[in-house]
Structure 1
Amino acid sequence: MNTIPEIATRLASLCNEFKFVEAYIELYADNAVSIDPNNKNEPITGLHNLIEYEKRFLSNVEIHDIKVSEAIFAGSYFSLVFSMNFTVIGQGSKMVEEICVYKVENGKIVSQQFFIG
């Protein structure tokens, strides 16, 4: 799997199954970068750091439901809309919708940026 549509479809499938760490391991480049408003838009660089950040997030939430849209494409980029219903431990339930923009190079995701609505 290395075309952008294949990567987008696989990412959506794994996320719909709550397999977020597996998605990083399978689909992301070692030098991938993430920009996340939950991290004050400070870039997180490197696959290992992305996985650790994701594990910390998952250890603090209980995800109830997630819906991932069909992808849209432009050159080496694709976007997905995530709608997620989850409970943050000690804080209560949240419903978040975000647009996620991904860049692919050499068959791997090299960057992602999240825009929370």
Structure 2
Amino acid sequence: MTATSISQTLITLLRNQEFLKAYQDLFSEDAESIDPINPTPGPIKGLAKLIELEKQFLAKAKIRAITISEAIHSEAYFSIRLFMQFDINGKESSINELCVYKVNAGKIISQQFFIS
């Protein structure tokens, strides 16, 4: 898959709140993530760890709304804007982030989030 086709599939899955499927279908086994709200310093490495952390988030969050922009592409990279409103541990919250992905050999190998 190309970065363009991966971005289109990712956007569809995220808009449908199929977050785990996005990881399972589109990410490399050795993918890494840089997330400023991760409690552990440094990148998160490995698909299994990314899925585990996503499951933990989904277990405690109730998503009320999600908006995903169309992608902007530059060769092996693409970015999207994600805005999500959710309840977590009974409290309303939201996140507004720029997500940057790198694709290699038909899979996402890295993601980095910039949060405002």
TM-score in same-fold range (> 0.5): yes
Residue 42 of structure 1 deviates from its aligned partner by 2.1
Corresponding residue for residue 24 of structure 1: 23
Give the 3-state SS of the residue equivalent to 1:42 in structure 2.
Answer: coil
Corresponding residue for residue 74 of structure 2: 74
Aligned mates of 1:60, 1:74 — CA distance in 2: 35
Q: 1:1-117 to 2 correspondence within 5 Å?
A: 2-40=1-39, 42-90=42-90, 92-117=91-116
Structure 1 unaligned spans of 5+: none
Query: In the TM superposition, what whole-angstrom CA distance separates every residue of 1:1-57 from its partner, at most 9, and x where no partner exists?
Result: x01111001001000011000000000000000011111552110100000010011
Give the 3-state SS of the residue equivalent to 1:5 in structure 2.
Answer: helix
Identity level (%) = 45
Conservation of the 8 A alpha-carbon contact between 2:31 and 2:46: yes
Aligned mates of 1:96, 1:48 — CA distance in 2: 24
Normalising by the residue count of structure 2, what TM-score does the alignment of the two structures yield? 0.95
RMSD, aligned CA? 1.0
Count matched residues.
Answer: 115
Q: Is 62-71 or 31-40 further displaced after alignment?
A: 31-40
Give the 3-state SS of the residue equivalent to 2:111 in structure 1.
Answer: strand
Residue 71 of structure 1 deviates from its aligned partner by 0.2
Give the 3-state SS of the residue equivalent to 1:39 in structure 2.
Answer: coil
Query: In the TM superposition, what whole-angstrom CA distance separates every residue of 1:68-111 from its partner, at most 9, and x where no partner exists?
Result: 00000112100000010101113x11121100000000000000
Conservation of the 8 A alpha-carbon contact between 2:63 and 2:86: yes
Q: Is 39-48 or 15-24 further displaced after alignment?
A: 39-48
Stretches (4+) displaced over 4 A: none
Structure 2 unaligned spans of 5+: none
Code of the aligned partner of 1:101: V
